[in-house]
Amino acid sequence: MNQPIIRKLLVDDRNELFDAQGMRFMEVPSHFGKIREYTRQVLSDCPEHFLEGNLLEQQLSELIKNGIKHGNACNPDKKLRIWYDFRKRVRFIVEDEGAGFVQLDDWNDFFARRQLALFNQDFDKFLRFASYRGPGSDENDGGNSLIAALEYWNGGMIYNRRKNKVGVVRWYMNGSL
Amino acid sequence: MFRRMKLTILPTKNSAIRCLRIEGDFDLYTAPALSRRIQETQATWKHLHLDLDGVRYLDSSGVGAIIRLLQACKSSGRELTFSGIQGSPRKVLQMSNILALLTEVQLTQVSPS
């Protein structure tokens, strides 16, 4: 019987995606109004062929937004730490000072049901599952950033055990510099 | 530095159609206002068309606003169509598995301009 392959958010403290050796670093206060500005700062000297229009900017902005809004509750006294590396591929580690993404298992369950509805072409059900709503969600949350992220970060997307730090990597077809 | 969003009402071939052109960045800062403005006109149309030809940046908040519109139109029996989805906004909708749910038509089918 056909079953869809459904990706998951994974937790692995020892994953190589958390090895920050040689990566550049930036620390910013958690100002919601500056999320896109911070993103542009990190990407200011990123090689153009990694940008893919503004797709990389959009995906990094989501990681920063999740850290600032959901992790640090937009408290400017709390810092967001960003490690980044543009050598041959794009890697980021983003760490906030919040309690961690405690709904991670719930999100994986939501995503599995969503993708199963899509696989079964049950679009009514899929539409009900189109956006994730967690206890910390508000009316302005899209509820879909992690869905696109799992697709975009093609080399992995890993959380630490405390779930307040995420490591991601995207590889490119012609990424050698 | 960032392109703010602009919303324009386009003329339509039928008074039951509301045709809106969105230009600029459809993002975490502009999506809430867009949702509110569309809701304000909700009672007056049977068919909403969004032309996204001028949108160059779409993030999860913009996708979320589109999903809420899809859900609202479905529950109220209204029609929702789109045109001009291109570039990275198209890719973002694709990665979110939402693109396949959207009904895309040529802008000229709903607006004479």
- The answer to whether the CB of A149 falls within 8 A of the CB of A10 is no
Lowest-pLDDT choice from A30-34, A110-114, A139-143, B63-67: A139-143
Sheet containing strand B17-26, edge to edge, reads B6-10, B17-26, B47-58, B79-83
What ipTM was estimated for this complex? 0.92
**CATH code for the part of the protein at A10-100+141-170:** 3.30.565.10
How many separate domains does chain B show? Answer: 1
pLDDT, mean of residues B54-66: 96
The reported pTM is: 0.94
Q: Is the predicted pLDDT of residue B23 greater than 70, yes or no?
A: yes
Q: Is the predicted pLDDT of residue A176 greater than 60, yes or no?
A: no
Q: Is B76 helix (H, G, I), strand (E, B) or coil?
A: helix
In this structure, the strands spanning A156-159 and A10-11 are parallel
What range defines the domain where residue B16 resides?
Answer: 6-109
Share of chain B above pLDDT 90, in %: 73
pLDDT class of A134 with cuts at 50, 70, 90: confident
pLDDT, mean of residues A142-146: 91
The answer to whether residue B101 is domain-embedded is: yes
pLDDT, mean of residues A66-76: 97
Q: Is the predicted pLDDT of residue B58 greater than 80, yes or no?
A: yes
The answer to whether residue B1 is domain-embedded is: no
Which of A33, A40, A148 has the CB atom closest to B92's CB atom? A148
Q: How many CB pairs under 8 A join A and B?
A: 92
- CATH code, B53: 3.30.750.24
Which of B2, B32, B97 has the CB atom closest to A140's CB atom? B32
Q: Residue A100: exposed, middle, or buried by beta-carbon count in 10 A (0-12, 13-18, 19+)?
A: middle
- Amino acid A77 reads D
B24 touching A (Cβ < 8 Å):
no
Q: Which residues contact A153 (CB under 8 A, 6 or more apart)?
A: A59, A168, A169, A170
B2 touching A (Cβ < 8 Å):
yes
B61 touching A (Cβ < 8 Å):
yes
Residues A172, A163: Cα–Cα separation, whole Å: 27
